[in-house]
Structure 1
Amino acid sequence: MTDEALEPDRGTVPADAAAPPAFVGRRRELKELREDIARTGLDTLSGRKAKAPRARVLLVAGRPGSGRTALAEEFARQTAPDYPGGLLRARLTTSGGERVPTERTARELLEALGEPTPPGADGDELTSALRAALAGRRALLLLDDAADAEQVDPLLPDDSDCLVVATAEGPLTGIPDVRPCTLGGLDTPAAVELLTARIGSVRVTVDPRAAETLAEECAGQPAALALAGGWLAAHPKASVADVAKQLHDMPAERGALARAFRLVYESLPAPAQRTLRLLPLAPAGAVDAHTASALAGCSIAAAQSTLEDFAALALVRPAADGQYLLPGCLVPLLRALLETGERPAEVQLARARMLERTVRLLQSCLAVIEPDGEESEVIGSPLPGVPAPGGRSAAPPRALRFPDARAAGAWLDGRLPVLTAAARLAVADGELDTLARRLVAALVRALAAHRGTDAAAPELYGLHGLVLDVAERRGLHRERAAALLNLGDLDHDTGRTRAALDRYRAALDAGRAANDPYATGRAMESVGGAYQELGDWHRAADWFGRALAQSLSRGERADEARLNGRLGSVHTYAGRYGEALRCWRSAAAGYRKLADVPGRARALSEMARVQEYAGRPEESLHTCRAAIDLAREAGDQRLQAALQVRLADTLDRLGDPAAARLHRAAADRLLGDDPAACEIRSASG
């Protein structure tokens, strides 16, 4: 039989066939779940008192393809009005069968609640924050595809007003008061109803017994029935009895779902079969036309048409924004076909094409969001040595372009879980490290441009960790230093100063191994900043001095001025005013050579502060006036106002209240009554 004969007919779905219902049957199971909400707990019946009030857990147990997720979703839809705190969803197992770390799940749930998620926080910290966020909030949690109780237990709210609905293949041993609602196949009327909705009522009415037989051959499994119904809808000339006979003649040991899948798979043309076999390579089980096109090596239009055919056959499920989801129950079957039908080299080539397409889409996204961005290879970037996307690169093909920055940002937000999953898979592969590095670099830059570094910090932390994994595996010392510095900065910003200090020290070793003076200088300065944060002024001054010595040897004037300022701040905190004044004078002289008027003004303002602390008010008065002149030249009104207030305070101490009032009035005219305007930050900030 030719491929053309096997190709599904287009536009031949019966006119009386409605859109497949999202849910049919299971009335008894829904009633049991509703009754179980208010049922007395097992601990109460046995006379034991629970340690703390916790959310009631309802479990929907069943094999993949039994419709457990559909039942849980329908129950959540019906019950959601009783839980004004909101409905939260999380999938605990990936489409490939890997467990989702509890840390990642808790972070996703916190983000859904609009709660902050500190970058680098561990699972215990995030689950504790999740329980705190759900306290006093009557919420409904749907935890899909749990592997065991250890995944579910840390996510349970400590609030009896909350409800948790979990789905799993077996019992959740270890969680008290869980009564599993175990699913078998659909009853015959519901199975026939599902079949009728997909193929229309004519063929079912003509031979109702054949429809019941087909339901029996599919063991009442919704996934198997959907596949058989999709095949019948695509082949309107075939009878229901013929399909039932074909399934009956297949080896029984395969199971109903495997037989129905084999029926659909063997009816596809060879190119579609190959595309379907490659779909398990799609990260997070989500695929769109670009992903399918790259995997199969075909055009985007052909890939889109193939995905639409797959959706009609129930091989994929349509999702938002042009994406399709691969049903988890089909992934093991597809992986088996992938292993037997594709050579390892072809699989690796398909994965490389997919990653390359993702990189190009991220480059196009960044080019629209930040059209004037230029290439950079500094150590603070995600991957030194990896050219930055965007900038002066050639324009991408029309199919990869975004119409405007808003569309590019929406694409990045909507695809972010898939993009991060792609980065993790690329790094875990171990054989595509160059592509993995380019992908992570493009994703980091696009996120930072779209959301800003602070807002994107939780995602950036994980991405920098992936960079570190690749750098350590490949012995790339400069990239290792960059990743450690970026991770250290994020640790420092979230208050984990000791962890940041360890990162900075490791970055210093990596920078020395790479013979990179910029990396070592940045690491030494960061170590000094960590000690300054910890209040260890002696060690902070020592490390700032080391960084300053390197800058002096290399003639880096901007770094010299900045480091002199940081040394001056540390000496000021330590009460060593003479050394502090020398450092601030050097900083001011450096900024003067650089023609940096704002920097020089702030350095002089800090000199005035130190002179005041040292009991030299006349000198402070003179320095402060010079700083005001420079601030006026630089157009920094906030600094002018703050210096005017400091000048007024000094004049009060010198016994000239009239002049002090004049300067306070000048400060009020500059920035009104905003007290924050009177704060002067050191140049080290």
Structure 2
Amino acid sequence: MARRLAPGFPDGHFFADLGGTDLAPRDPHHVLSGWLRALGSDVDPRADVDELAGRWRSALHGRRALVLLDNAKDTHQVLPLLPAERSCAVLVTSRDWLPGIPGARTTLLGPLTDREAVDLLTARIGAARVGQDPVAAAELARLCDGIPLAVQIAAARLTARPSWPVGALAVRLRDERRRLDELKAADLTVRAVFHLTYTGLPKPQTDTAIDLRRAFRLLGLAPKEVGLPAAAALLGHPAQDTEEALEQLVDHHLVDSPEPGRYRLHDLLRLYAR
């Protein structure tokens, strides 16, 4: 989308990977300092974030600029980086909801379809290699469960092993016990992204409150999709409390709710929960 929009913003394109799924997300102070230097300004490292944010907004006064903030952790990380000019546009991506951003319009991106996953795999490893065994390529894409990161990791592994047929990796992913471990390339791992979200879940505030981490783990033992009564029985709590807990897991993108009162885990998340 950013590439399509870029021609309409001739006065500058600014990008930052905010590292929201990393152990140490990027500090807005660091991002602003880099942008201001790129615009030719000197930056005092002792300046606070509010001062840098003000200078950043002044620098974009009267400009048509496009700002892409990728992988944001939360609203507090994003707010200092927003331009004040209505002539500027900002795209923000995040695994979590980001309430409190003025004028924001939210678009939920669901999992890739099987066709989209194959197309992404093809773009990474080439049509010739996929064409050698399209059935195996389709299976590999399906086993990645529609998660773009998983498809990209699979493609990276195949790129580093040019003599491997696509089906060789698909065979390794068939084994549920090792699937998450196979989806690893250098410092990119699907398990690590899930783990950061899981460990970031809020802890129960009272002894009787539902532990969201435990609820998530228990859902990994359930069938692919469960209704609220079955989930309440599994968690051992009243339906109302169970629904509140599961809705929090939905908000954290660990659980999906296809319709009111129904909950499910995608395949890779279920394996991680187990």
- Give the TM-score range, shorter chain: 0.5 to 0.7
2:166 to 224, 234, 240: 240
- Of 34, 43, 63, the match for 1:117: 43
Other-structure match for 1:260? 183
Contact 2:17 2:70 (C-alpha < 8 Å) held by counterparts: yes
TM-score under structure 2 length normalisation? 0.60
| Match in the other structure for 1:184 | 110
Number of equivalent positions:
195
Contact 1:172 1:178 in 2 (8 A): no
1:15-164 matches, within 5 Å, as 75-93=1-19, 96-164=22-90
The question of 1:215 aligning with 2:141 is answered yes
Please identify the structure whose Cα radius of gyration is greater.
Answer: 1
CA contact (8 A) 2:36 2:42 kept: yes
Which AA in structure 2 matches 1:153? Answer: L
Distance 1:119 1:331, change over 3 A: farther
Report the CA distance between 1:101 and its aligned residue. Answer: 2.7
| Aligned pairs for 1:421-460 within 5 A | none
Structure 1 residue 330: deviation in Å? 6.1
Q: Which TM-score applies when normalising by structure 1?
A: 0.26
* 2:241 counterpart residue number: none
How far did residue 128 of structure 1 move?
Answer: 1.1
Residue 245 of structure 1: how far off its partner (Å): 2.9
Q: Is the 8 A contact 1:211 1:241 kept in 2?
A: yes
For 1:180, give the aligned amino acid.
T
Q: Larger helix proportion, structure 1 or 2? A: 1
Q: How big is the shift at 1:164?
A: 0.9
User: What is the deviation of 1:130?
Assistant: 1.1
C-alpha distance 139-215 of structure 1, shift in aligned 2 (>3 A): same
Question: Counterpart in 1 of 2:214?
Answer: none
Aligned-partner residue type, residue 192 of structure 2:
P
Give the AA of the match of 1:113. Answer: L
Once the two structures are superposed, the pairs formed by residues 571-610 of structure 1 within 5 Å of their partners are none
Structure with greater strand share of residues:
2
What amino acid sits opposite 1:163 in the alignment?
A
Q: Displacement of 1:207 after TM fit?
A: 3.7
Distance 1:246 1:110, change over 3 A: same
Q: Which amino acid letter does the alignment assign opposite residue 179 of structure 1?
A: R
Give, in whole Å, the separation in 2 of the partners of 1:158 and 1:234: 44
Q: How far apart in 1 are the matches of 2:191 and 2:183? A: 14
Change (3 A) 1:141 1:231: closer
Matched, 1:226 2:152: yes
Q: CA deviation at 1:120?
A: 1.6
Q: Partner of 1:175 in structure 2?
A: 101
8 Å Cα contact 1:192/1:211 also seen in 2: yes
| Amino acid of the structure 2 residue aligned with 1:175 | I
CA displacement at 1:163 relative to structure 2: 0.6
Q: What are structure 1's unaligned runs of at least 5 residues?
A: 1-74, 262-314, 317-325, 337-685
User: 1:332 aligned to 2:192?
Assistant: yes
Q: 1:199 to 1:77 in 2, by over 3 A?
A: closer
C-alpha deviation, 1:250, in angstroms: 2.5
d(CA) in 1 for partners of 2:113, 2:191: 26
| Secondary structure class of the residue paired with 2:107 | strand
Q: Name 2:262's counterpart in structure 1.
A: none
Letter of the 2:105 partner, please give it. R
Taking structure 1 as reference, are residues 108 and 202 closer, same or farther at Cα in structure 2, changes over 3 Å only? closer
Match of 1:348 in 2: none
Evaluate the alpha carbon distance shift between residue 197 and residue 165 of structure 1 in structure 2; reply closer, same or farther with a 3 A threshold: closer
Query: Residues 149 and 190 of structure 2 are in contact (CA less than 8 Å); yes or no, is this contact kept in structure 1?
Result: no
